[in-house]
Amino acid sequence: MTGAAGFIGYHVAQRLLAQGHSVVGLDNLNSYYDPRLKQARLARLAPHPGFRFVEMNIGDRPSMEALFEREKFSTMIHLAAQAGVRYSVENPYACAEANLMGFVSVLEGARRNGVDHLIYASSSSVYGGNLKVPFAVADRVDSPVSLYAATKRANELMAHSYSSLFGMATTGLRFFTVYGPWGRPDMAPMRFAAAILRGESIDVYNYGNMQRDFTYVDDIAEGVVRIAARGRQPQPYRLFNVGNSSPVPLLSFITTLEKALGRPAIKRYLPMQPGDVPVTHADVEDFWLATDFRPATTLETGIEDFAHWYRDFYGPENGRLEENGDQHGDQHGDQQGLAHELRQEARQREGQADGEWNDADYGYARA
């Protein structure tokens, strides 16, 4: 599984390990957001005997090839990506390198080494400014409004080509506005919680006239695990929406968060940002029929769980990670041996001297 130290990846890994699976988790622990949060997630996965961590960039082609050749994975869950709609507007090369070239590396590794089923993260952002709601997989998605959305749609098309050419089983999951404990600091719930607890203002875009299909991370993780459990199906290429299918007005989300934190928000109303869309709403009927599962965690329950975790992790008055993060420790250092061995194999295969390789080069696939 790639992106194992990321928000969704951590929760999926926990579920798989609890079911008795062995998981090799990849992540490059880059600094898109504070790596200590990623390390804290890994510290909770590390004690599981079935978990091994490999610090590696999915764009590091020689090391990825060596990994696939050595492990002969039966199932691949690809969750690593350069996240962020707005980030992609400001950093297009990082987005394209991670989400396009990184995905080619994953596809080729799976194809050449007999992976039975490749599951990968897509996004609700592929629907762009689609005015038809709820969004269904059969809808046209040829008008993305951000580079991030375009790369995710490109992933779907790339997977389709590999399924068509090589008979590879690929399943893309379009996630809808994931939130919950251990979330990403760049996402609205984390930013809002931090600002509310510090008495700072929050930015409310499109003057609050937005709706999101907020989906609790445990429901997302359960969906991924159920898709993995299905294994290879007669139809090799599938796409599914994974969402709560119950859009919530942004201002209602903020009100629910205020109640959970016990503090009012200071709102700063702003116009729509480039790349944003006013509404997301998932049609999940196909997903339900395939998995017998429908995400259903209520916003109130999910936000309460998130707020409890947030206060516990960052401190009751929102102590910053820079102040409190050291208590979580960096416990993954000894787990980097496999990545080092794989790099050594790749160096020998390509006839390169050790001194010509620089680990800093492996830094663009975001978890």
Q: Which two tokens stand for residue 54?
A: 């490999």
Cα gap 116→104, rounded to integer Å: 17
Question: Residues for the chain: how many in total?
Answer: 367
What are the b/e assignments for 250-273, b being 16+ CB within 10 Å? bbebbebbbebbebebebeeeeee
Q: Is 334 exposed, middle or buried (0-12, 13-18, 19+ CB in 10 A)?
A: exposed
Q: At what angle are helices 61-71 and 102-112 packed, to 10 degrees?
A: 30
Query: Running DSSP on this structure, what letter comes out for residue 248?
Result: E
Helix (H) or strand (E) holding 306: helix 299-314
What is the sign of the dihedral through the CA atoms of 344, 345, 347 and 353? Answer: positive
Q: At what angle are helices 35-45 and 7-18 packed, to 10 degrees?
A: 0
Peptide bond into 35 cis (omega under 30): no
Which of 169, 191, 195 has its CA nearest to residue 77? 169
User: How many CB atoms within 10 Å of residue 148?
Assistant: 26
Positions annotated as catalytic residues are 148
For residue 254, give the amino acid letter: I
Which of 144, 28, 169, 148 has its CA nearest to residue 100? 148
Q: At what angle are helices 188-198 and 250-261 packed, to 10 degrees?
A: 50
- What is the SS3 assignment for 211? strand
Categorise residue 279: left if φ over 0, alpha if ψ from -120 to 50, beta otherwise: beta
Q: Is 121 exposed, middle or buried (0-12, 13-18, 19+ CB in 10 A)?
A: buried
Q: Which two tokens stand for residue 250?
A: 């942004």
